Amino acid sequence: MKDLTKEIGKILDVRQTIENKTAVERDADAAAVRSFFETVVRGAFEEFSAALKAHGRTVAITIGGTSASFIAKSGDREELNFSVKHQHRRVVAPVMELTDPSTGRRFRATGYFRSGLQDYGVDELSKEEIVAHMLEEYRRHVSSRDGRRTNP
């Protein structure tokens, strides 16, 4: 059965080649995601922070390799709790956390940066898109009567 052993060897060689390629792609994806958070997300958060601080708000920013959070307050009142989280491969999503003031319950909503097909990744998202998304979420949250999210 030398031929069988040889054929199984070929199958396993192909599998190893695929696994090696997948590992290289995974490493490249991880590097792209880290770079995205460090440059694009950080830039968006810092720009939004500066604008809010000009209006007397306090801001806390945390940037990690696969997620980033932005919390803005006016006094003790949270006005925006916005995060960007890595989903898979090169895909990230915005996450909003809101508190219902009547019950104190926290809600988390994961969304999308764009409408329509969700076939974009960190290579296609810009700082301006993130800032625009944050502005829309801030507008919805701050303009609501009781702190719950509304559409203007």
What is the rounded distance in angstroms from the CA atom of residue 106 to the CA atom of residue 150? 16
Q: Which residues contact 127 (CB under 8 A, 6 or more apart)?
A: 40, 43, 44, 47
Nearest to 108 by CA among 94, 119, 121, 122: 94
pTM of model > 0.85 = no
Helix axes 127-143, 42-53, angle to 10 degrees: 40
Q: In the prediction, which pLDDT does 13 show?
A: 74
Taking the alpha carbons at both ends of the chain, their separation in whole angstroms is 73
pLDDT of residue 10: 76
20 by Cβ neighbours in 10 Å (0-12 / 13-18 / 19+) ranks as exposed
Q: What is the pLDDT of residue 20?
A: 65
pLDDT in tens, the chain (152 residues): 668 888 887 787 777 776 666 777 888 888 999 999 999 999 999 999 999 999 999 999 999 989 999 999 999 889 999 999 998 888 888 999 888 778 888 889 888 888 877 677 898 899 999 999 999 999 988 887 554 444 44
- pLDDT at position 1 is 63
